[in-house]
Chains A and B, each alone.
Chain A
Amino acid sequence: MTRIHWQSTVLATAAGAQALAPTAAWAHADAHPGGGFVTGFLHPISGLDHVVAMVAVGLWGAVLGPPALWVLPVAFPLVMAFGGLLGLLGVPIPGVEIGIAVSGLVMGLMVLFELRPPLWLAALIVSAFAVFHGHAHGAELPAGSNALHYSLAFVIATGLLHLVGILLGETRRWPGGRRFVQGAGGVVALVGLWFLEQGLT
């Protein structure tokens, strides 16, 4: 029965992805090549600063354990989209690039040193950084007729990056996994530090 459910899930996911994928047959073809699902999906993956921070959210969630393990990936897209909304509406937020770099640095350090603040504080930290990430990407959302495809793909890609972080973080259960996760946090922190240095100079 579980196998049937699993197969159904895979089929449903594939069907959903197929339905959302852009094709030339659409009546409302992209007015802008950046307006589609694929572009939105690739956007978060193409920026290293965003990638490491998203993976760090998952890693930190795994370090914190339940319920943070799923609260952070639920909260992040919501707040990130709110930041995106502000970016789209032209509401200025100072130091966005610095904030993104700091997010990688801070969350990387959290993972490296296995810091476990209370859930509300962890959610607050992650949410604060999510605003910067969302604002940066919201301001870049291209004009196109498939903006919802783009937005959805963007959010899904970000969520999948969280999932990658969670899966990497779950290796803590294995021998040597804890050190591996701490090392991954260190790498994230270094990347964040590099972007911070780039942003300040």
Chain B
Amino acid sequence: MIALLAHLTATGYGPWGDGMARLFLEPTELLLVIALVLLAVQSGGPSGDRLPLLLPLAWLLGGLIGLHLPAELLLAVTCTAVVAAAGLLVALGVRLRPRVLLPLIALLAAGFALVPGSALAGHPGALAALLGETVAIAVLTTLLTQLLAPPHPRWRAIAVRVGGSWITAGSLLMLGWLIRHPQ
């Protein structure tokens, strides 16, 4: 099956499936979701419980707005820097209060989703692709929050911080690469 949309990889399952696959083929978006989940889990409290609902909804909202933007947003450097910062918060073991963390997550997710939304704008099947990616985010977020939900042993808390460190490190290298090779 031929890919119907630009910025999507043909999976053979139509725009919906292509949208789901996009999350796993666009590492920046995947890393942001993982970093936000790790941050919420690390912060504890109700943040982790509310994340599986909040994150996909914010993503969908941002994506829908992005679909109506007149031009594609090219914010690779900004997005990569945001992912690096989110990973750094995890690596440093920062714990944010829910009233700070949850709006921050919603803002970041919605802001990030503007990019894929604007990239898909004007293409047939764009809405289905966006919904597919949103569902993929919901599933991933739910699985990760359940897997990492506290209380957890000490080694898992360390693994979360190491994960944040890896996300930041990968993003920093990507940032340098983007600056060196402007898109």
Report A's interface with B, CB cutoff 8 A: 5, 8-9, 12, 19-20, 25-27, 70, 73-75, 77-78, 80-82, 84-90, 138, 141, 143, 147-149, 151-152, 154-156, 159
Contact = CB atoms under 8 A, between A and B. Distances in A.
Interface in B34-59: none
A9 B173 contact: no
A74 B177 contact: no
A8 B181 CA distance: 38
Contacts, number: 109
Contact of B176 (A26, A70, A80, A89): A89
B75 interface: no
Nearest to B177: A147
Main DSSP-derived SS at the A contact region:
helix
Nearest to A8: B147
Contact of B27 (A80, A81, A149): A149
B172 A152 contact: no
| Most B Cβ at <10 Å: residue of A25, A75, A78, A87 | A78
Given A27-B9, A78-B88, A148-B27, A84 B162 contact: no
A25 B31 CA distance: 21
B174 A151 contact: yes
B169 interface: yes
Interface residues of B, number: 36
| Most A Cβ at <10 Å: residue of B88, B147, B175 | B175
A20 B27 contact: yes
B30 interface: yes
B177 A151 contact: yes
Contact of A148 (B10, B143, B174, B179): B174
Contacts of B27: 20, 148-149, 152
Interface string B152-180: 00000010011001101111111111111
Contact of A12 (B88, B143, B176, B179): B143
Contacts of B8: 27
B171 to A, nearest CB: 8
A81 B161 contact: no
Given A75-B165, A88-B177, 4 more contacts: A9-B147, A74-B158, A77-B165, A151-B177
B104 interface: no
Contacts of B134: none
A177 B134 CA distance: 50
B173 A85 contact: yes
A74 B30 contact: no
B10 A25 contact: yes
A138 B180 CA distance: 11
Contacts of A74: 91, 158, 161-162, 165
